Structure 1
Amino acid sequence: METHIQIRFGELSTKGKNKKRFVQQLAQNVRMVTKDYPQIRIKPEHDFMLLELNGAAEADILERLQHVFGIQNFSPVYLVSHDLNEVKRVLVELLGKMETAGKTFKIATRRSDHSYEHDTTFMNAELGATVLAAFPAISVKMKQPDILVRVDIKTSGIMLSTQTYQGAGGLPVGSSGKGMLMLSGGIDSPVAGYLTMKRGV
């Protein structure tokens, strides 16, 4: 399976008519921090951004994205078709690579494609039953599970993920103009600079 990375915007989702400009700036910043991986394709969407790795080092990219302002969180995802049996197969394959004995899990489905035949309640129950049948030593826990399985139903297919990483939050650097920082010998000015960058300067 080919891994992609789904980037979620967080604060950018509140930017209204200016959102496109903020997303474009974030895409440029992501391209900058991954410029030594020219094979990566960056695909901005309405409420997320998708990175096609095309063989790029996943662990290295995940580390770099944690320091990019404008990213709320992100996940390695696997794209599958809308076929439910295919979704089940890939889900079992993903969890089979993890330590599940004695662990708890939760299925969290989000359906932005409302033309899809199954609603979120059905998907949560059906995929949960599939996991329990395949891994008898795992159990369901709705609050703070050990493993949170995200199921994101899009028009183009279904994204599955089992890990979420926190980004730096805030706004993309470069989206709020330019500034100048004078550094003194104390800690205050570097902290002020960091917080200013977090606001897009």
Structure 2
Amino acid sequence: MYEHILVRYGEINTKGNNRSQLERLLLSNIQNALGQWPQIKVRRISSRTLVSLHGAPVEAVLGKLEKVFGIRSLSPVMAAPLDVAAITEVAAQVLEEARHLGSTFKVKVRRGNKQFPLDSMELARHVGGALAERFTELQVDVHEPNVTVHIDVRDDGAYVYADVVEGAGGFPVGMSGRVGALLSGGIDSPVAVWQAMRRGLVVDLVHFHSFPFTSERAQRKVEDLAKTLAGWSGSLNLNLVSLTQTQAAIRKSCPEGLRTILLRRMMFHISTALGKQYGWLAFVTGDSLGQVASQTLSGLHVVDEVTDLTIIRPLVAEDKLDIIRRAQAIGTYETSILPYDDCCSLFAPKRPKTQPKRDEVRLAEAELDVEGLIAAALQAVEVKKIDRDA
């Protein structure tokens, strides 16, 4: 029965003077992710973190830890005192648990505790020989074994395991600062948000809607996406911003071919003002170059000029199929493809201009009461706190 989970770091290991600070942040994020099991204890052991289960279900805990950014890999482990016979016995238990995986095995030792009397090769030979005598139906294969029994010898004991589970990688959320992010309800923007969080960013979500022209089901779809993303980062603020008045003004006063570009500029105007309230230095979008009419290089250039926020576009050079695969992997795809219109698709012009010129866009925008529309949108912002599933 596995008693602990051994957590290995990802890019944290590449950091120097601030590594201990990042480790503390990761520990805090791990504890928050496992809050439904108050009996669990989390502590650092050298360049690892040990999660002691105390009866919590190992598979459920692994599922939570797989979504904590900053973790490179995980292993359910059994602990043994620093005694060769005890380590051998625990290794036999681990191999017994894993023997269904195949007919060959090997033993691999990492000796972090240099005071242990046997070196890595000596301990591997001793334990491997004992296991071969006990499990006569299994063969030793040091090159391509079906099962590898790992023994990690530390100052406080030895940790023995056979399974290595891939983690989310990246940096702990909270390391890199706070940003806003556009969450549209499509396939791309949730993936962009996920990638931003993976770089250690705390993300405040912004969703622009056109209620009553967009439905309550469209809003619930976005809330469901936000909840899935919260499973990776913890609680998220979802800012619901109405564009109904803005779209009516654009439709009344501006050329049809420029409607989408002008709408995007207004989104960035409003987001910039919202960012001053939150303290954002950057804004994340799901733009992918050339994917839709407003995401040409000319379109992005014309939109970006209205904000002093740094615009982060994690998907700008990504292939659509790669984005879809990532959406499937992180759990947002099935929700994203639900057929509810967002504010952009609902009011899209028949022939959008794909190579807008800055002067013509500025001239068209001059027909709008930009400051008044920004103020009206900010006054009606609804903020929802989205928590991760228990």
When normalised by structure 1's length, the TM-score is: 0.94
Residue of structure 1 in register with 2:26 after alignment: 26
Q: Deviations over 1:66-92 (max 9, x none)?
A: 111100001111111111111111221
1:199 aligns with 2:199: yes
Rounded Cα–Cα distance in structure 2 between residues aligned with 1:192 and 1:56: 33
Residue of structure 1 in register with 2:204 after alignment: none
User: What SS is found at the alignment partner of 2:99?
Assistant: coil
Judging by fraction of residues, say which structure has more helix: 2
Residue of structure 2 in register with 1:140 after alignment: 140
In 2 relative to 1, CA 101–37 (structure 1 residues): closer, same or farther, beyond 3 Å? closer
Residue of structure 2 in register with 1:81 after alignment: 81
User: What SS is found at the alignment partner of 1:168?
Assistant: coil
1:96 aligns with 2:96: yes
Residue of structure 2 in register with 1:115 after alignment: 115
Residue of structure 2 in register with 1:154 after alignment: 154
Compare relative contact order (CA 8 Å, sep 6+) and give the higher one, 1 or 2. Answer: 1
Unaligned runs of 5+ in 1: none
Number of equivalent positions: 201
Shift in Å, 1:117: 0.6
Sequence identity percentage:
33
* Preserved contact between residue 100 and residue 138 of structure 1 (Cα < 8 Å): no
Residue of structure 1 in register with 2:42 after alignment: 42
Residue of structure 2 in register with 1:175 after alignment: 175
User: What SS is found at the alignment partner of 2:172?
Assistant: coil
Q: Deviations over 1:22-67 (max 9, x none)?
A: 1111111111111011111110233000011111111110111111
- Partner amino acid, structure 1, of 2:49: M
User: What SS is found at the alignment partner of 1:180?
Assistant: strand
In 2 relative to 1, CA 144–199 (structure 1 residues): closer, same or farther, beyond 3 Å? farther
Residue of structure 1 in register with 2:381 after alignment: none
* Preserved contact between residue 2 and residue 78 of structure 2 (Cα < 8 Å): yes
* Preserved contact between residue 98 and residue 147 of structure 2 (Cα < 8 Å): no
Rounded Cα–Cα distance in structure 2 between residues aligned with 1:15 and 1:166: 21
Rounded Cα–Cα distance in structure 2 between residues aligned with 1:10 and 1:38: 26
When normalised by structure 2's length, the TM-score is: 0.49
Residue of structure 1 in register with 2:252 after alignment: none
Residue of structure 2 in register with 1:124 after alignment: 124
The structure with the larger Rg is 2
Using the TM superposition, name which of 151-160 and 140-149 deviates more.
140-149
Shift in Å, 1:191: 1.7
User: What SS is found at the alignment partner of 2:107?
Assistant: strand
Rounded Cα–Cα distance in structure 2 between residues aligned with 1:71 and 1:101: 25
User: What SS is found at the alignment partner of 2:181?
Assistant: coil
In 2 relative to 1, CA 166–5 (structure 1 residues): closer, same or farther, beyond 3 Å? same
Shift in Å, 1:188: 2.6
Q: Deviations over 1:123-160 (max 9, x none)?
A: 11111111111111112223342111110111111111
Shift in Å, 1:189: 2.0
Rounded Cα–Cα distance in structure 2 between residues aligned with 1:16 and 1:143: 35
* Preserved contact between residue 10 and residue 70 of structure 1 (Cα < 8 Å): yes
In 2 relative to 1, CA 169–116 (structure 1 residues): closer, same or farther, beyond 3 Å? same
Rounded Cα–Cα distance in structure 1 between residues aligned with 2:159 and 2:101: 24
User: What SS is found at the alignment partner of 1:17?
Assistant: coil
* Preserved contact between residue 12 and residue 171 of structure 2 (Cα < 8 Å): yes
Rounded Cα–Cα distance in structure 1 between residues aligned with 2:73 and 2:194: 19
Shift in Å, 1:101: 8.4
In 2 relative to 1, CA 103–184 (structure 1 residues): closer, same or farther, beyond 3 Å? same
Rounded Cα–Cα distance in structure 2 between residues aligned with 1:142 and 1:97: 20
- Partner amino acid, structure 2, of 1:139: Q
Rounded Cα–Cα distance in structure 2 between residues aligned with 1:197 and 1:98: 35
Shift in Å, 1:106: 1.8
* Preserved contact between residue 102 and residue 147 of structure 2 (Cα < 8 Å): no
1:70 aligns with 2:70: yes
User: What SS is found at the alignment partner of 1:91?
Assistant: helix
Q: Tell me the C-alpha RMSD between the 2 structures.
A: 1.6
Rounded Cα–Cα distance in structure 1 between residues aligned with 2:102 and 2:42: 38
Rounded Cα–Cα distance in structure 2 between residues aligned with 1:136 and 1:100: 14
* Preserved contact between residue 152 and residue 160 of structure 1 (Cα < 8 Å): yes
Shift in Å, 1:193: 1.1
